[in-house]
Amino acid sequence: MYKKRRIAVMIGMLIGSTSVLAQTDMTSIESRLAALEQRLQEAETRAQVAEKRATAAEQKTQQLVAAQQQAQTITREVAQRTTALEKKADQSSGFEFHGYARSGLLMNDAASSSKSGPYLTPAGETGGAIGRLGNEADTYVELNVEHKQTLDNGAITRFKAMLADGQKTYNDWSADSSDLNIRQAFAELGNLPDFTGALKGSTFWAGKRFDRDNFDIHWLDSDVVFLAGTGGGVYDVKWDDTLHSNFSVYGRNFGSEEEIDNNVQNYILSMNHFAGPFQLMVSGLRAKDNDDRKDSNGDLIKTDAANNGVHAMAGLHNKSFYGLREGSAKTALLYGHGLGAEVKSIGSDGALLSEADTWRFASYGVTPLGGGWHIAPAVLAQSSKDRYVKGDSYEWVTLNTRLIKEVTQNFALAFEGSYQYMDLNPEGYKDRNAVNGSFYKLTFAPTLKAGKIGDFFSRPELRLFATWMDWSSKLDNYASDDAFGSSGFQCWRGMELWGSDGNLVLSLHAPAWRERFKHHKNEVRQRYIWILIISPANSSRCSEAKRTSQAPLTAQRVCVWF
């Protein structure tokens, strides 16, 4: 009995103990689960916070990348603008120096000087040029200084002065024979912000200058048209995208300081219109009392001189070789009446009659031919009647062609031929006689250049010239004081120095020749044919040629070393 109770008590105790343990375990589990759930919630909260932070960081990163890209773009734009401004500043601001010069030595067989130049023929008195290559022996210098400035408001200012001197003395100290003078001194104001419409972007100027739109045939050393003097005007009045005009008034003086009445002024009112490649220039001239000018003795200079005149030019500026091939070309037809009958240098001749009429035609072009050859043909012709004396006439035409053959990238051979025919009837003006005939000139010029070997206008270059000339003997009767009135062998060496865009350029000239002897009324000529061989230094190779005419047999040698 006792044992049963004991067992029952023990079983009861065990059962009670198990219940207590179970209750304790459930409470602990629930507590841990609650703590775990709380931690999960905290972790989820932290994850959400972290996700928000990550999203914000990503957005900030994207913003930073975008800002960086924008900064790079702005930096590039600023750099481009800075470069453009610097380039513009370099081009349109600061001082510039330009120069042109030529100088040469000429001698004949008696070791004395001889006349030369692109206007040495009788037709040269009325502008008949025959070419400058190997044919200039004077000394002429132009020194140009100019200052450009672009202001903050966009306006552009420009000042230019040209100092020039021309003389024929060979001495290094030549102040006594110098013709030093100021050929240009003017100021320009352009792109003024106050002006709109047709005047927007126009350029106003005043002073002494060469007109901006003058142009020439460089290898003839002849302007097609040359307008210069002291005055003022406006360039680039734009009517639309293709049409613009220039307006100017120039003043010039006739006569010299020695004349009693040197107050006669020639006023030139000019309009120059451009439409694409076409140009139309019209000028009116007025010189009151030009027929009443007196010399230093008080005598009237020319009682029938013109007091007014007109001048017109139609031009075509091709950006191709006459529309046929690569290259460029310029053509002009000019007419002048009265004071305008000097159609090249407008308003420069005060001796013209009021009845004077002149027509002038000029054209030249440049183009590559292939195979290293380049050609530049030119034609210049003029007919002038009633020019200085009623019934007089001056008619001439010049044909000129220059060829360049590229040999290497720095060496070329240049060839030039000129032909001029003239029929002149001055009616005794200045004791000139009526003549007609032809003139011929051939030039050979080995040329060294730094680059652009086939470009007719690129510089610098060094050239050595050999020129042969001949003409109709009856042209010698035109005058006794011109180049054809002298005799003797001519051989000259020279230097030409000229510049573009501020660069000075050097050229060398040598030699050209002509020989003629006169015995009373019978003229005997000796003509030389020179064959020029270009050889390395120290070479002994020379050439010799012989030719006979009515004169004795003559032989000559010439050697040239590089």
Is the previous residue joined to 460 through a cis bond, with omega within 30 degrees of 0? yes
Q: Under a CB-based contact definition with an 8 Å cutoff, are residues 230 and 236 in contact?
A: no
The pLDDT, as a whole number, for residue 514 is 33
The pLDDT, as a whole number, for residue 124 is 94
- Condensed to tens digits (0 to 9), the pLDDT of residues 317-359 reads 999 999 999 999 999 999 999 999 999 999 999 999 999 999 9
The pLDDT, as a whole number, for residue 20 is 52
Q: How far apart are the C-alpha atoms of 426 and 340, rounded to whole Å?
A: 19
The pLDDT, as a whole number, for residue 195 is 96
Q: Under a CB-based contact definition with an 8 Å cutoff, are residues 369 and 375 in contact?
A: yes
Q: Supply 379's token pair.
A: 């034609």
Q: Under a CB-based contact definition with an 8 Å cutoff, are residues 193 and 201 in contact?
A: no
Nearest to 468 by CA among 535, 525, 507: 525
* pTM of the complete model: 0.73
Instruction: Provide the 10 A C-beta neighbour count for residue 172.
Output: 5
Helices (H), 93-207: none
The pLDDT, as a whole number, for residue 325 is 95
| Residues whose CB falls within 8 Å of the CB of residue 329, separated by 6 or more in sequence, listed in order | 316, 318, 320, 321, 322, 363, 364, 365, 366
Instruction: Provide the 10 A C-beta neighbour count for residue 466.
Output: 21
What beta strand segments (E) does 151-275 contain? 156-167, 181-190, 203-210, 215-217, 222-225, 228-238, 243-253, 265-275
| Residues whose CB falls within 8 Å of the CB of residue 474, separated by 6 or more in sequence, listed in order | 435, 436, 437
* 265-275 vs 534-535, strand pairing mode: unpaired
The pLDDT, as a whole number, for residue 507 is 35
Nearest to 97 by CA among 158, 157, 162, 164: 162
C-alpha distance from residue 301 to each of 18, 91, 256, 285, 388 (Å): 155, 50, 12, 20, 12
User: Over its length of 562 residues, how does the chain's per-residue pLDDT go in tens digits?
Assistant: 555 555 655 555 555 555 555 566 677 888 888 888 888 888 888 888 888 888 888 888 888 888 778 878 787 877 777 776 666 655 556 899 988 877 766 665 556 666 778 999 999 999 999 988 877 778 889 999 999 999 999 999 999 999 999 888 888 888 888 888 999 999 999 999 999 999 999 999 999 999 999 999 998 999 999 999 999 999 999 999 999 999 999 999 886 655 545 566 899 999 999 999 999 999 999 998 888 888 778 788 888 999 999 999 999 999 999 999 999 999 999 999 999 999 999 999 999 999 999 999 999 999 999 999 999 999 999 999 999 999 999 999 999 999 999 999 999 999 999 999 999 999 999 999 999 999 999 989 888 888 888 888 877 777 787 778 889 999 999 988 766 655 443 444 444 443 333 233 333 443 233 333 333 333 333 333 333 333 333 333 333 333 333 333 333 333 333 2
The pLDDT, as a whole number, for residue 114 is 63
The pLDDT, as a whole number, for residue 85 is 62
Where is 20: in which H helix or E strand?
helix 2-92
| Residues whose CB falls within 8 Å of the CB of residue 411, separated by 6 or more in sequence, listed in order | 446, 447, 448, 449, 453
